[in-house]
Structure 1
Amino acid sequence: MARTVFYSFHYERDVHRVQLVRNVNALEGQPLLNSQHWEEVRRQGQKSIESWIDKEMAYKRAVIVLIGSQTATRDWVLYEIERAWALKKPLLGVRIHGLSSMGAVDAPGANPFQAVSGISGVPIFDPTETGWNGRIDSKATFNKMSRNLESWSSQGKVRLW
């Protein structure tokens, strides 16, 4: 199983949901930058961001894209997917729109792997649970993700050539 992972996600929109994922403690991920540190890295330009990503991803055993409603449109997420594929890191997605962020769930997002040329067959796991009323049950979603995240992490797709 992939015990150390790199989490790829849309920072501004999903950081609270990602914190819930990290709180599961099933996997060790890269440290989350607080908004001030992220701005510091970002102000230094594209090469600085690429360097931070490359350094953080280097010794991770897998890359998990945490898919929220806008993840597939984020340039840095697409860069991270391309980089993981080039490094032959196991790659997978986990939908997080059903986790509560400040008391609200979100709409599901597009498949970010379809936005990157040459990548196919990457599994996406969706822990989203609904209640009797058809609405997303964020607590049940969190519990399902907690039970399965570790096993999902070992099922990533690897580029073979």
Structure 2
Amino acid sequence: MKRKVFYSFHFDNDVMRVQQIRRMGALEGDEPVSPNTWEQIKRTEQGVKNWIDQNLNGKSCLVVLIGSQTANRPWVQYEIKRAWELGKAVVGVHIHRLNCPRNGFGTMGANPFNQFSFKNKSGQIVKPFVYEPNYSDAYGDIRDNLASWIENSINQ
């Protein structure tokens, strides 16, 4: 069974890397909205929040695809906070070693989870897992392991 996930990432910097992950087909993830639809959604802050909440519905896990600037993005921060509030598993994967056709390789970004304090159901502080794919074959490492990384996070 393929898990249904919500991908969180910095669109402007990382969309081409994220598309590589989507094409792997290991998971069932949301397709990105078209630029025209996004322009309508982002007219109001509440419109964006409603879209995020709607798209988190029915998902097992929030997968934060961490590029060089992902940790600083306000909507990524909202997605992390909201997913945790809704009881979704949260996992991070560094994607800077995926080769972007436009920009080449990226630089490693900060862990976006360091800005939060996560507590599990029993009140213990936990940190979501963050994976850094293999230097020599990031694509293959993500392809071969993303599903198990998500399962690890769901079972954390």
Task: Give the TM-score, by structure 1 length.
Answer: 0.86
Unaligned runs of 5+ in 2: 120-125
Unaligned runs of 5+ in 1: 131-139
Over the matched positions of the two proteins, sequence identity in percent amounts to 40
Asked if structure 2 preserves the Cα contact closer than 8 Å seen for 1:7 and 1:63, the reply is: yes
Equivalent residues in 2 for 1:1-150, closer than 5 Å: 3-43=3-43, 45-102=44-101, 104-118=104-118, 120-130=126-136, 140-150=137-147
1:121–1:2 CA distance, 2 compared to 1 (3 A): farther
Bigger strand share: 2
> Which amino acid in 1 is paired with 2:151?
S
> Which whole-Å deviations, capped at 9, do the CAs of 1:96-130 have from their partners, x for residues lacking one?
11111125010000000012244641100111413
Please report how far the alpha carbon of residue 40 of structure 1 lies from its aligned counterpart in structure 2 after TM superposition.
Answer: 2.1
Asked if structure 2 preserves the Cα contact closer than 8 Å seen for 1:6 and 1:64, the reply is: yes
1:149–1:100 CA distance, 2 compared to 1 (3 A): same
> Which amino acid in 1 is paired with 2:32?
L
CA distance in structure 2 between the aligned counterparts of 1:82 and 1:91, rounded to whole angstroms: 10
Asked if structure 2 preserves the Cα contact closer than 8 Å seen for 1:2 and 1:62, the reply is: no
Please report how far the alpha carbon of residue 19 of structure 1 lies from its aligned counterpart in structure 2 after TM superposition.
Answer: 0.4
CA distance in structure 2 between the aligned counterparts of 1:38 and 1:126, rounded to whole angstroms: 30
Alignment: residue pair count: 149
1:53–1:96 CA distance, 2 compared to 1 (3 A): same
Alpha-carbon RMSD: 1.8
